[in-house]
Amino acid sequence: MKVADYKDIVFERKPPIGWVTLNRPDKLNALTLTMMEEISDVMDKLWDDEEIRVLVIIGAGDRAFCAGADITMFQGQKPNSIFHIIRKIVDVTQKVEKFPKPVVAAINGFALGGGCEIAISCDFRIASEKAQFGQPEIRLGIIPGAGGTQRLSRLIGLGRAKELCMLGDRIPADEAYRIGLVNKVVPADKFREEVENFANRLAEGPPIALKMAKYACNFGTQVPLDIGLLLESGVFGVLFGTEDMVEGTTAFLEKRKAKFTGK
**202 to 241: interface string for ligand COA, x by CB under 6 A:** ----------------------------------------
Q: Indicate if 194 belongs to the active site.
A: no
Residues 29 and 60 sit within 8 Å (Cβ to Cβ): yes
Q: What is d(CA 212, CA 236) in angstroms, rounded to the nearest whole number?
A: 8
Q: Give residues 84-113 in contact with ligand COA (rule: CB under 6 A).
A: 110, 112-113
133 binds ligand COA (CB under 6 A): no
* Minimum CB–partner distance for residue 56 and ligand COA (Å): 22
Q: How far apart are CA 52 and CA 39, in angstroms?
A: 15
**Under rule CB under 6 A, residue 69 binds ligand COA:** yes
Under rule CB under 6 A, residue 68 binds ligand COA: yes
Q: Which of 37, 137, 163, 204 is catalytic?
A: 137
Rounded CA separation 66/170 (Å): 13
Binding mask 17-56 for ligand COA (x = CB under 6 A): ----------xx-x--------------------------
| 117 noted as active-site residue | yes
Diameter of the chain by CA atoms?
A: 66
Q: In terms of CB distance, is 2 or 162 closer to ligand COA?
A: 162
Tell me if 136 contacts ligand COA by CB under 6 A. yes
Helix 33-46 with 79-98: angle, nearest 10 deg: 30
35 versus 199: smaller Cβ distance to ligand COA: 35
- The Cα 254–Cα 173 span in angstroms is 42
State the nearest-atom distance from the C-beta of 222 to ligand COA, in Å. Answer: 26
Number of amino acids touching ligand COA (CB under 6 A): 15
- Looking at the Cβ atoms of 8 and 123, the one nearer to ligand COA is 8
Q: Is 137 in the site for ligand COA (CB under 6 A)?
A: yes
**What is the contact surface with ligand COA in residues (CB under 6 A)?**
27-28, 30, 67-72, 110, 112-113, 136-137, 140
The catalytic residue positions are: 117, 137
